Amino acid sequence: MRASAYPASPTFDQMLLLPAGEPQPGGDAATAERAWSNLLGGVPVVLVRSVDQARRLLLRAAALPPGTRVALPMNVEDSLLAAVKDHGSRPVLIGFDDALWFDRRAATDARTDIVWAQPAGGTGGLPGAIARGTWVDHAAEAPVLAEPRRRTPAPADAEVWGLHLSSDPVWSGAVLAFPADGGEERAAAVRRLMIGEDRCDATIALAQAGRLSRLAGQQRAVLLAIARGLAEAAGLPMPSAMDRAAAPAGILIVTPTECDPATLYAYIAREHTPVRWLPLLRPLHHAAPRIGHGDHSAAAALLSRCLLIPAGPTYSTEEITHAVLGVVKAAEYLGIRWRTDPGRAASYATFLEELYGPDHDAFRPVFATPNQSRATAPPGCRTR
C-alpha cells in the first residue's frame, strides 16, 4: 500500500478549473457553442457566464407559473434550492431509491411539474423522463464525449453543466444543453432573455471544451477500472452504473448495515487510500423535514452510509490498484468483504480457517453466510 507521503496524482475535482495560461484557440461565441454542442452529442446549447445565472435563465425561459412544484433531491445544494425559491416556484425535496437514483415514484406521487435532479458521485440522476419538465444539474461533473443524444430513450429536457473557467463563481461559466425534442426552441427562449453580461468568454469556453472532453474520457476509464476492481475483490454494495454522459469525481460504495460507516471510513483512510464521506460533500438539506416528500430520515440514513473513493484522470495503474486494495483490506479487517456474495465469503472464510487454524485473526464474516449463522460479534464491525 502507499505510504503517507505518497506523491498522489490530483483528483478530478482538483483538475476541473481551467489553468492560467492554458492555450486558447481563437473563436467567437458561435464557434464555442458548436464545440460544446459537438461534445454533448450535437444538441442545442447556450453558453452562460455562471451556473447560478444559467439556472435562473432556465427557470425564466420555462415560463413557470408562480407556485409551480419543482422536485429536487433531498441533498440539493443551497444555491439550486435558492434559485427555485427566488423564481417563485415551490421546491419539493425527494429522496432516493435503493440505487441512489432520484426516486421517480416519489416525484410522481408528489405531483411535481418539473423534476430537477442533481447527481452526486455519479448517482442521483434521473432514470428517464418523469414529469413534463425533466432537468439535470451537472454543475460539479464534466461531460463525456457523447453519441447523438436524441437517440437515447427519454433524454432530459435540459441540462446544466459547469464550465469551471474561473474560481470566481460569478464568472465560472456554464452550458445549458437541451437534448430532448424541441431543444432549439428552448435554447432560443433562453437567448431572448440574455443581455450582454449574461454571456461567458467564448475564447476560454472554447479552450475548456477540448480540455474537459479529454479529462472526462480519461476519468471515466479510471473510474471503470476502479469499479471493476472493487466489484471483483471487495464485494461491497455499489450504486447502479454511472450516468454514461457524465464523469463524476469518484466511485460510491455503500457501507453494509453490519458495519458503522465511520469505522469503514477510518480503516480505508488508514491504508492511505483517499476517501470522502458523502454527507460532508452533499448532506441532507436542512429543509427536508419541512418540504420533503417521503421519509427524510431514511434518505439521511442512506446518505450517511455512502463513501466516495475519489480518483483522477491521470491516475497510474499503481494508484488505481491502491484505490481498490485500500477498500479491500478495510473490508477484510472488518468482516464485510464480499457482503454482496455471501457464498464466496463463506468459502473464503473456510479456506482461511483450514490454512491458519480455528483461532486465526484473518477474515471472519460478520454477516450471515450459507450454512452459517451470522457471526457473534458486537453490533458494528469485527476487527483483527
How many Å apart are CA 331 and CA 363, to the nearest integer?
Answer: 9
The verdict on 98 and 151 lying in the same domain is: yes
For residue 186, give its domain range.
25-210
Query: What is the crossing angle of helices 261-270 and 317-333, to 10°?
Result: 130
Q: Are 239 and 231 in contact (CB under 8 A)?
A: no
The verdict on 88 and 101 lying in the same domain is: yes
Give me the CATH number covering residue 78. 3.40.640.10
Strand partners, 254: 306
Q: Which three cell numbers stand for residue 204?
A: 476560454
pLDDT tens-place string over residues 178-193: 998 899 999 999 999 9
For the beta carbon of residue 40, count every other beta carbon within 10 angstroms: 24
Domain endpoint, select from 185, 210, 235: 210
pLDDT tens-place string over residues 64-94: 999 999 999 999 999 999 999 999 999 999 9
Residue 178 inside a domain? The answer is: yes
The verdict on 56 and 111 lying in the same domain is: yes
148 burial class (0-12, 13-18, 19+ CB within 10 angstroms)? exposed
Query: What is the crossing angle of helices 202-233 and 29-39, to 10°?
Result: 10
The verdict on 150 and 76 lying in the same domain is: yes
The verdict on 127 and 55 lying in the same domain is: yes
The verdict on 237 and 190 lying in the same domain is: no
Domain count, the chain: 2
For the beta carbon of residue 69, count every other beta carbon within 10 angstroms: 18
The verdict on 134 and 170 lying in the same domain is: yes
The verdict on 94 and 167 lying in the same domain is: yes
Query: What Cα–Cα distance (Å) separates residue 196 from each residue in 47, 192, 193, 201?
Result: 12, 11, 10, 11
pTM here? 0.88
pLDDT tens-place string over residues 283-323: 999 999 999 998 999 999 999 999 999 999 999 999 999 99
Which of 131-135, 189-193, 213-217 is predicted least confidently? 131-135
